[in-house]
Chain A
Amino acid sequence: MSWLKPLLIALALLGAWQTVVFVFDTPPYILPGPERVLLVWVDNWVLIAGHATTTVLEIVLGLVLGALLGILTAVTMAFFRPAHSWLMPVLVVSQALPVFALAPILVLWLGYGLASKVAMAVLIIYFPVTAACYDGLRHVPRGWLDLARTMGASPRSVLRHVQFPAALPALASGLRIAASVAPIGAIVGEWVGSSRGLGYLMLHANARMQVDLMFAALFTLGIFAVALYFALDWGLGKLLYWHPQTAR
Chain B
Amino acid sequence: MRAPPTVLLKDVSVVFDGFVLFDGLSLELGAGEWTCVLGRSGTGKSTLGRLVVGLDTGTRPSGDLHDERGNPLTGRVAWMAQEDLLFPWLTVIENVALGARLRREQAPERQRQAHGLLKRVGLAGIEDALPGTLSGGMRQRVALARTLMEDRDVVVLDEPFASVDAITRAELQELAFEVLQDRTILLITHDPLEALRVGHAVFVLSEVPASRLTPVPVEGTPLREIDSPAVARAHGELLRQIAGTEG
Contacts and interface: CB of A to CB of B under 8 A. Distances in A.
Interface of A: 141, 143-144, 146-153, 157-158, 161-162, 165, 168, 241-244
B165 to A, nearest CB: 22
A147 B99 CA distance: 9
A159 to B, nearest CB: 11
Nearest to A240: B89
Nearest to B143: A147
A151 B102 contact: yes
Nearest to A147: B85
Given A150-B77, A150-B78, A152-B75, A143 B101 contact: no
Contact of A150 (B55, B89, B132): B55
Closest 9 CB pairs of A and B: A153-B102, A151-B99, A242-B89, A150-B79, A242-B88, A143-B85, A147-B85, A165-B89, A157-B102
A21 B38 CA distance: 79
A149 B81 CA distance: 13
Contacts of A143: 81, 83, 85
Task: Name the prevailing secondary structure of the A interface residues.
Answer: helix
24 contacts: A141-B85, A146-B50, A146-B55, A146-B56, A147-B79, A147-B98, A149-B55, A150-B54, A150-B78, A150-B79, A150-B150, A151-B102, A151-B103, A151-B150, A152-B75, A152-B103, A153-B103, A157-B102, A157-B103, A158-B102, A168-B89, A241-B130, A242-B88, A242-B89
Given A146-B50, A153-B103, A157-B103, 20 more contacts: A144-B87, A146-B55, A146-B81, A147-B98, A148-B102, A150-B78, A150-B150, A151-B99, A151-B150, A152-B75, A153-B102, A157-B104, A161-B102, A162-B87, A162-B102, A165-B89, A168-B89, A241-B130, A242-B130, A243-B88
B117 interface: no
Nearest to B91: A242
Contact of B132 (A141, A148, A153, A242): A242
B92 to A, nearest CB: 12
Interface residues of B, number: 24
A151 B104 contact: no
Contacts of A152: 75, 99, 102-103
A3 to B, nearest CB: 27
A146 B53 CA distance: 10
B214 to A, nearest CB: 30
Contacts of B99: 151-152
Given A143-B85, A144-B85, A150 B53 contact: yes
A165 B101 CA distance: 14
A146 B132 CA distance: 21
Nearest to B130: A242
